[in-house]
């Protein structure tokens, strides 16, 4: 039962973090898989929606983009951006956003805009999109990252989407009423943030990964002393993911 890929355990690990009834804001790629895994297995009463305005689509086929016509099919409601943001910010809803980025810092702040000088970037990325808004206004967020030193940096080149800002109560002081990153799911394990300092620490490492390996691939000091080995994906999780969610392996590869 140890036969699974890193992408599979990432999608499943993220899906396990969802509470039943959460309203899930999905982006593209792995986040779409995680949201669907959550709904299929752990959170049948959860609803997936997209910033483009598609609410609760059937997802018979996996969308490759938030504007994929597959997010408009079998929905309870087809709307637009303004309506989707009204769902995202609703104070009664536990909206959980799945986000990704090019860089992350120890407080979960994300860069999806540019490397180097903003005006003449050495690499330009697509931009903050709706991730900035989800990071600002959702109830919470779960972040996907490839675990590499160049991506886990002490300071992001451009702060596109707010995490815990400079830690402690700085997020609240900046004016945010709720939200903040709950976890960072990578190809090596799951990171969480200290209750008080809001600094990242290793919570789980995947079977076959050493905590030291996670530290070595992180560009800032990472506490691994509280870490435990993650529960490997079970038969049901893998079958659902492979057979029902991504049979064409569009995202699983």
Partner 1 sequence: MEFTPSMQKKLMSTAEAVERFVPDGAMVSLGGFTVNRNPMLITREIIRAGRRDLHLAVHSHGQALDLLIGAGCVSKVELAYGGVARFAPTGIRFRAAASRGDILVEDYSNFHMSLRFLAGSLGLPFIPSRSGLGTDVLEKWGFGPEVRGQGKIPEKKMVVDQNPFAEEEDPVVLLPALEPDVTLLHAQCVGTGGTVRIKGLTFLDVEQARASDAVIVTCEEIVPEDYLRQDPDQNTLPSFLVDAVIPAPVGAHPTACHQYYDYDPTHLKLYRDYASSDDGFQRYLEEWVLPFQTQEEYLAKVGAPDLERIKANRVLGYAPGLDRR
Residue whose structure tokens are 């002081």: 173
The reply to whether 51 sits near partner 1 by the rule CB under 8 A is yes
Residue 123 CA, chain-centre distance (Å), reads: 22
Q: How far apart are CA 161 and CA 156, in angstroms?
A: 10
The reply to whether 137 sits near partner 1 by the rule CB under 8 A is yes
Binding residue for partner 1, selected from 136, 141, 204, 218, defined by CB under 8 A: 136
Site for partner 1 in 232-251 (CB under 8 A): 248, 250
Which C-beta is closer to partner 1: that of 166 or that of 213?
166
The reply to whether 44 sits near partner 1 by the rule CB under 8 A is no
The reply to whether 159 sits near partner 1 by the rule CB under 8 A is yes
Binding residue for partner 1, selected from 13, 141, 161, 186, defined by CB under 8 A: 161
The reply to whether 42 sits near partner 1 by the rule CB under 8 A is no
135 to 34, 138, 142: CA distances (angstroms):
17, 6, 9
- Shortest distance, CB of residue 252 to partner 1, whole angstroms? 12
Binding residue for partner 1, selected from 23, 48, 59, 66, defined by CB under 8 A: 66
CA-CA-CA-CA torsion for 221, 227, 231, 232, nearest 10 degrees? 40
Both tokens of 195, joined, read 């209750």
51 is catalytic: yes
Of 239, 178, 188, nearest to 210 (Cα)?
188
């Amino acid at each position: 039962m140890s036969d699974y890929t890193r992408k599979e355990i990432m999608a499943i690990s993220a899906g396990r973090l969802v509470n039943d009834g959460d309203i899930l804001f999905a982006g593209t790629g792995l986040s779409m898989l995680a949201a669907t895994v959550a709904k299929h297995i752990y959170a049948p009463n959860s609803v997936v929606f997209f910033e483009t305005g598609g609410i609760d689509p059937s997802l018979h086929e996996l969308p490759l983009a938030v504007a994929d016509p597959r997010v408009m099919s079998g929905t309870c409601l087809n709307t637009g951006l303004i309506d989707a943001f009204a769902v995202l910010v609703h104070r009664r809803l536990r909206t959980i956003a799945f986000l990704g980025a090019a860089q992350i810092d120890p407080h979960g702040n994300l860069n999806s805009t540019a490397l180097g000088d903003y005006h003449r970037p050495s690499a330009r990325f697509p931009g903050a999109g709706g991730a900035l808004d989800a990071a600002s206004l959702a109830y919470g967020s779960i972040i996907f990252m490839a675990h590499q030193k160049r991506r886990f940096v002490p300071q992001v080149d451009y702060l596109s989407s707010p995490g815990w800002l400079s830690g402690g109560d700085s997020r609240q002081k900046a004016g945010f009423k709720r939200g903040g990153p709950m976890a960072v799911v990578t190809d090596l394990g799951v990171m969480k943030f200290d209750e008080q300092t809001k600094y990242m620490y290793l919570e789980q490492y995947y079977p076959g990964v050493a905590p030291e390996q996670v530290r070595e691939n992180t560009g800032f000091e990472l506490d691994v002393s509280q870490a435990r080995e993650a529960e490997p994906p079970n038969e049901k999780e893998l079958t659902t993911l492979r057979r029902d969610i991504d049979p064409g392996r569009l995202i699983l590869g």
